[in-house]
Amino acid sequence: MLSNPSQLIIRNNHLVNGHSVLLLNHEDDLLAKELLQNAERVSALALDFHHFLALKHQSNDKLKCFFGHQLPTDDSFDSVVVYFPKAKSLAPYLFNLAASYLKPGGQLLVVGDNKGGVKSLPKILPNYFSPSMKLDNARHCLLFAAELIEQAPAIELTDWVNRYQLPTPQGELTICNLVGVFSEKKLDMGTELLLENLPELSGRVLDFGCGAGVIAACLLKDNPDLSLDCVDINAMALASCELTLAANGLSARVYPSDGLAQTEGNFDAVISNPPFHDGLNATTDIALNFVRDSHAALSSGGCWQIVANRHLPYSDTIAATFGQVCCTAENNKFKVYRQIK
């Protein structure tokens, strides 16, 4: 089943007849495969690791699938399709990236949900593209087109970083936050409560949902001898985490993982402010799977500590998985759970 934006693209697939096509920031569907009915070849760059995994098994000589914030190869395309991002601050980066892969005079197609910010495209599209033209409006989505008319600036990841100092319970850190990665430029209440109540850690530790690397940097500032794995599903978050660690003279293994599926071996501790939104059944299910999966990945005697909104239904699953529920700290919004396997 194609997402609504993908359905809008496929009903305009004549636009890519005989083209080499790049999909940027694509969604959790098989549009890339469907486009091969018209396109000569398709490459797909996912910024969401789950979306990459959903398409990866379809790859062949004419369909190449990648995950990351840039393609790992130098290539050029007749058309680039950009899915307008949920984080609007990411859009200019995607347009610059699209331009760097387009042939001179190449076609840019931008698709997005009507309520997701795509209506602002004519105002925010860089001037190395021609003025955008609205081509279609259906499935509550809009499709725009433009042409590359000038060479775009070279992509330098550091040009897209918001760098700032952050006081934490472990001391002041330099945070490197890339566009599209959530940051308040201050320590959120949940993470602060977690960091104020860290256990004694040693050995191999997993930072699940590492984001821009705030928790990872604090863990290593407290104990530089930790063997730390940092995982996330978002390419820009992983790049941010790497930049943050480097800016503070720290190092860890940073890599994508869908849940804990891509982690290997056991951990002496799992520490997290899980990146699950409130009030959505789907993300609640993911959160509960996280409890079970992280328990399975813990060594005997290993420590599992997270912070979560007080109203989220963790307690029953924690009790069923660990045999008890231990809340070591709380405030009016959050609870810190610490369990020993």
Token pair 């955008």 is at which residue? 132
d(CA 141, CA 119): 9
- Please state the separation of Cα 14 from the chain's center in Å: 31
pLDDT for res 283: 57
The enclosing domain of 73 has a CATH number of: 3.40.50.150
140 and 181, same domain (yes or no): no
242 and 324, same domain (yes or no): yes
172 and 304, same domain (yes or no): yes
Instruction: Confirm whether 267 is domain-assigned.
Output: yes
Q: What is the SS3 assignment for 136?
A: strand
92 and 191, same domain (yes or no): no
Element (H, E) at 201: none
DSSP letters along 291-315, please?
HHHHHHHEEEEEEEEEEEETTSS-H
At which of 86, 119, 147 does a domain end?
147
202 and 333, same domain (yes or no): yes
pLDDT for res 236: 97
Burial class of 1 by CB neighbour count within 10 A (0 to 12, 13 to 18, 19+): exposed
At which of 99, 116, 147 does a domain end?
147
124 and 175, same domain (yes or no): no
Domain encompassing residue 90: 4-147
71 and 130, same domain (yes or no): yes
114 and 176, same domain (yes or no): no
35 and 126, same domain (yes or no): yes
Bridge-based pairing state of the strands 141-147 and 133-138 = antiparallel
At which of 118, 147, 176 does a domain end?
147
Residue 168: DSSP 8-state: -
DSSP letters along 20-64, please?
EEEEES--SS-HHHHHTTT-SEEEEEESBHHHHHHHHTT-BTTEE
Per-residue pLDDT for the chain (341 aa), expressed as one digit of tens each?
999 999 999 999 999 999 999 999 999 999 999 999 999 999 999 999 999 999 999 999 999 999 999 999 889 999 999 999 999 999 999 999 999 999 999 999 999 999 999 999 999 999 999 999 999 999 999 999 999 999 999 999 999 999 999 999 999 999 999 999 987 788 999 999 999 999 999 999 999 999 999 999 999 999 999 999 999 999 999 999 999 999 999 999 999 999 999 999 999 999 999 876 543 444 567 777 899 999 999 999 999 999 998 888 788 889 999 999 999 999 999 999 999 99
d(CA 326, CA 273): 16
Instruction: Confirm whether 152 is domain-assigned.
Output: no
212 and 313, same domain (yes or no): yes
Instruction: Confirm whether 168 is domain-assigned.
Output: yes
Instruction: Confirm whether 17 is domain-assigned.
Output: yes
d(CA 30, CA 9): 12
Sheet hosting strand 63-67, strand order edge to edge: 63-67, 41-46, 20-24, 77-83, 102-113, 141-147, 133-138
